[in-house]
Amino acid sequence: MAYESLGELQNACRHHDIFEAVLESDCVDRGVTREQSLTQMRALYGAIRRSKEGYDPALRSHSGMVGGDGAKMREYVAKGKTICGEYIGGVIAQAIEMGESNACMKCIVAAPTAGSCGVLPAVLLPYQRRENLPDETMVKAMYVAGVIGQVIASNASIAGAAGGCQAEIGTASAMGAAALCYLAGGNAEAVCHAATLAIKSMLGLVCDPIAGLVEVPCVKRNAAGAMIAMSSADMALAGIRSAVPPDEVILAMREVGEKMDVSLKETGIGGIAGTPFGQKIAEQMNLEEED
């Protein structure tokens, strides 16, 4: 997936389906056959499916801060009294469950990172169930999500330590928005703008995990990222376009990340990590390590 910009991607898709354009690029870039590329992506989507099934609500992270909330959300949805409705409630639950599985050292798929692993599964799995789509269709959407992540990684960052959480969950949200837009029939232009609208909505999000652990506030932010992905996809499908060109938004994302204070980039110093509670947890974790 060697596209350097979303503009280049759109140009490549003038006469090709975006999935086919990305698949062909991946084969050329990595020197693999079409079937080899597809086999690898099928394995990734299969891992996402297995990760969902492997969620254990009884597990707690080493710090004790994370675990069981996904099950609480599922139970709440089952009562039929959610503000957002059953479908969106399920998306929220899925995002939390996957984030908790990561914090509890279960198998997850980094998409694009472990800390943002809940967004893509949360938007893809419920949509597949609702629309009764085959796995092969979802694999195609994974390519679309992947190329968005690749372009962002090439031009900005997908690491919280370098660009804040906008680089992690922001990118995941953009990937999810693009995948959903594609699944719902959006063309390459709509897909790129869906991703762009998501990035703009997450711009400036800091990375401030308590004690440097990918737990609080990371897990719940996955649910927020999934919501933004869904709204961004729907806006793009409605014909709404970003006033600022997609590639310029990605460059703005890089600029914001570069200007962000180091305390707000995965150091466990500022933001939520810098609260009295956050510092107390960090001190407790340090004492445990010393013992």
Nearest-CA neighbor of 211 among 268, 164, 161, 160? 268
In tens, the pLDDT along 54-111 reads 999 999 998 999 999 999 999 999 999 999 999 999 999 999 999 999 999 999 999 9
The confidence score (pLDDT) of residue 6 equals 98
**Alpha-carbon span 247 to 119, nearest angstrom:** 22
DSSP-assigned letter for residue 207:
B
Torsion over CA: 76, 56, 169, 184 (sign): negative
SS3 call for 168: helix
In tens, the pLDDT along 7-49 reads 999 999 998 899 999 999 999 999 999 999 999 999 999 999 9
pLDDT class for 188, splitting at 50, 70, 90? Answer: very high
pLDDT at 1 over 70: no
The Cβ of residue 280 has, within 10 Å, a number of other Cβ atoms equal to 12
SS3 call for 208: coil
The confidence score (pLDDT) of residue 288 equals 83
pLDDT at 169 over 80: yes
User: For every residue of 94-162, which 3-state class applies, written as one string?
Assistant: HHHHHHHHHHCCCCCCCCCCHHHCCHHHHHHHHHHHHHCCCHHHHHHHHHHHHHHHHHHHHHCCCCHHH
